[in-house]
Amino acid sequence: MNLEDMTKVRHAIYMFVDLFGLSRFEKDCLIRFTLTVKKNYRRVPYHNWTHGFSVANAMYAIIKHNPKSFRPLECLALFIGSLCHDLDHRGKNNKFMLETESPLAAIYTTSTLEHHHFNQTVTILQQEGHNIFGKLTSTEYKQVLGNIKHCILATDLALFFPNKEKLSQLVHDGQFDWDNADHRLLIEAIAMTACDLCASAKPWEMQAETVKVIFEEFYEQGDAEKAAGKNPIPMMDRTKVNEQAESQVGFLSGICIPCYELLHKLIPNTKPLLEGCKSNLQTWKKIADEKRKEAKNSDGEGEEETDTGIEEVNEEEEEEGVEALQDIKDECVDGKTGT
């Protein structure tokens, strides 16, 4: 999404007004709030204002096309939670924060960054002239703030897996009920993950460009880990750039596709996210295959080739895919990764 930062601010304000109007919100307050949110995203390669805006834009589309799925205050929390979900992200994940004994990790022992992102959101709201919820009743304010916290914490991929399992079971058993508040919290959490990972569903050119900056951020963390005498996982080791495609295959097939399949079952018109992600997965698989063949040819130079008539690569593909996904899941236990 090649929009200038200030253009993104204007679009974010437009999306808010289009969804919620201005009868209960001060326009100047909304402008100040949005500008301050932009300013408090750090200039890191990926988890920056552009990412925050992109996630909010994806959530806007879901809310706009499904006006009756969520309650009005839930929609408010989903949109603001999306816009603010990575405020003050340092370009390092939760695992890194814990292992380096970051002050943030001392304050928040679980979902470290996500708790910080929520705290930053509250801090901005408390600044003079920034409380966009100033016209809400105290009960409404408490509800929205609590729901924003839920939405932001849901972007910790360590929480995605249990959320997905609970919601999948409800859907499988035919027990999901839109009128059940706890059930709606689960679909809100899945929707937040879906929007957070929306780069995986964008047209290929955008997906490829986004993955470049994602991995640059990963590699910067890997460099920091090496400087501290630690061995980064392959996904964060810039000397293993040829494993990017395999890593993406594992990430999209193990996390993104299951997320979008579940979302599609409950909100059918989100199908473009699922289809876009599946299309990108096929492209990554082709690239991964090419990388494997290149590596195989490089390793086999000078050796006599034996033609068995069968290209026996399925077992190798499965093993490498499992390893890539396991790396991602291990990382998700303590931190957020991915697109």
- Would the annotation count 264 as a binding residue? no
How confident is residue 3, by pLDDT bands cut at 50, 70 and 90? Answer: confident
Neighbour-count burial of 94, counting CB atoms closer than 10 A to its CB (0-12 exposed, 13-18 middle, 19+ buried): buried
Q: Which CATH number applies to 5-297+314-334?
A: 1.10.1300.10
Residues 6+ apart with CB under 8 A from 7: none
The pTM (predicted TM-score) of the whole model is 0.88
Amino acid at 51: H
Please confirm, yes or no, whether 11 is among the known catalytic residues. Answer: no
- Would the annotation count 49 as a binding residue? yes
Return the number of other C-beta atoms located less than 10 Å from residue 131's C-beta. 17
- Cβ atoms 253, 321 nearer than 8 A: yes
- Would the annotation count 5 as a binding residue? no
How confident is residue 297, by pLDDT bands cut at 50, 70 and 90? Answer: confident
- From the candidates 11, 47, 65, 264, which is the catalytic residue? 47
Token pair for 89: 């992200």
Picking from 54, 4, 12, 44, the residue whose alpha carbon sits closest to that of residue 199 is 54
- Would the annotation count 47 as a binding residue? yes
Task: Show the CA angle centred on residue 284, arms to residues 325 and 281, nearest 5°.
Answer: 75
Domain boundaries, the chain: 5-297+314-334
Alpha-carbon distance of 52 to 188, in angstroms, equals 17
Express each pLDDT in 253-291 by its tens digit.
999 999 999 999 999 999 999 999 999 999 999 999 999
Does the pLDDT at position 329 exceed 80? no
- Would the annotation count 204 as a binding residue? no
